[in-house]
A = this chain, B = another copy of it.
Amino acid sequence: MSSNSSRRREITVADVAKAAQVSKAQAARALGNYGAVSEEVRGRVLAAAEELSYRPNELARSMNTGKSNTIGVVVGDIENPHFGLATRGITDTAKKSGYNVILINTDEELTAEIEAVHVLLDKRVDGLIVAPASSVETEHLRYVHETGRPLVLLDRKAERLDVETIAVSMAEISYESTRYLLEAGHRRIAFISTLKAGSPYRAGMALDSSQISERLEGMRRAFTEIGLTLSEDQVRLNAGDADSIRNITRELLLMPEPATAIVASDGLIALSVVEAIQELGLSIPSDVSFLMYDDFSWTRLTSPPLTVIAQPVYEMGVAAADALIRQIEGRKPASDGPEFSARLIRRGSVAMARTARV
């Protein structure tokens, strides 16, 4: 029973040094495993440390090494499995290199993100991984960058900011999947996103998110290519909560010329959209085709299983952490870094459009 659970004060090197009858400096060297220490002294010090159940104060250590072995992660919503998985990739990788993760949720709120970044900076994290809420408002990110702190962006790019970014190029996959829908005869293809915007979508309007811009660009390109245009009223933003998603879905499907295909911008949206479709008594894909971003396991369990755009989310988390740690440790990029791309997985939720079939 060496559980000398000393009540109040924590044990410090000084205590250990005294117990081992050496100078504080020697004790520190033995414990910190640096400098020159004789076997004899080392033995005594370690024994004393064990006996007192000494534990180093990482705060103190961080303070004068300037390293906290901690990285900050700022995401919009961990509850979203997309970020859950990415976070998992980050923490797994971080742990492997001896880093811990401080996680902050922003609810996709810019002000929360700005505050989060400052808090993390104040805590002297060694680097930051941010999934920026906005691709446009990036002053705070620029500040991080100027400060010299390593920074890696995840999922979304930031305009006019030269920072390593791990994201899949959305334009291409969006183009491809839109073509797929068009070829199935769909002309009224709706796109629903949580992206906050002050006004309803209009072609050419500036969007806050590089991801969404790219996706819309891809859609537009596919339409244009066959001489058509993506109609503005089919693009719905501000699909924040379950209720608004439900309403949007109803609108889209009950309007005079209803959408024949719906694309959900993420898994959370998808849940509510599919539910709303079911509530309307419509069925996928005979009444409406459905396509969603992110390949979650449950998408294989519905009937029909859902056609999805799979993104290597976990791997991107890993890559982001790798990139960040590389920056922190001052190593040059191994190569140009892997390119990540999404792919369309055709399952059963897309069919020929009604109009085309009739």
Interface residues of A (CB under 8 A from B): 3, 5, 7, 55-60, 62-63, 68, 70, 77-79, 81, 84-85, 87-88, 91-92, 95, 100-105, 118-119, 121-124, 146-148, 271, 274-275, 278, 296-298, 300-303
Most-contacted residue by chain B among A79, A274, A302 (CB, 10 A): A79
A274 to B121, alpha carbons, bound, how many Å? 45
Other A-B contacts than A95-B105, A303-B303, 16 sampled, CB-CB below 8 A, are: A57-B122, A58-B119, A58-B122, A58-B123, A58-B124, A59-B62, A60-B63, A78-B78, A78-B87, A79-B84, A81-B84, A100-B102, A101-B102, A102-B102, A274-B301, A278-B301
5 pairs of A and B residues whose beta carbons are closest in the complex:
A298-B298, A58-B122, A271-B297, A79-B88, A84-B84
CB contact between A59 and one of B78, B92, B123, B148 (< 8 Å): that residue: B123
The distance in angstroms between the C-alpha atoms of A102 and B123, with both chains bound, is: 12
Answer whether A78 and B84 are a contact pair too, CB < 8 Å, given A59-B59, A103-B103, A301-B274. yes
A82 to chain B, nearest CB (A): 10
Least distance between A112 CB and chain B CB atoms (Å): 8
Contacts of A58 in B (CB 8 A): 119, 122-124
**B81/A124 in contact, CB under 8 A:** no
Distance to closest chain B CB from A201 (angstroms): 26
Which residues of chain B are near A303, meaning CB under 8 Å? 302-303
Can you identify 26 A-B contacts, CB atoms within 8 angstroms? A5-B146, A5-B147, A55-B118, A56-B122, A57-B63, A57-B124, A58-B119, A58-B122, A59-B59, A59-B62, A60-B63, A70-B102, A70-B123, A78-B78, A78-B84, A79-B81, A88-B105, A95-B104, A100-B104, A101-B102, A103-B103, A271-B298, A275-B297, A296-B298, A298-B301, A298-B302
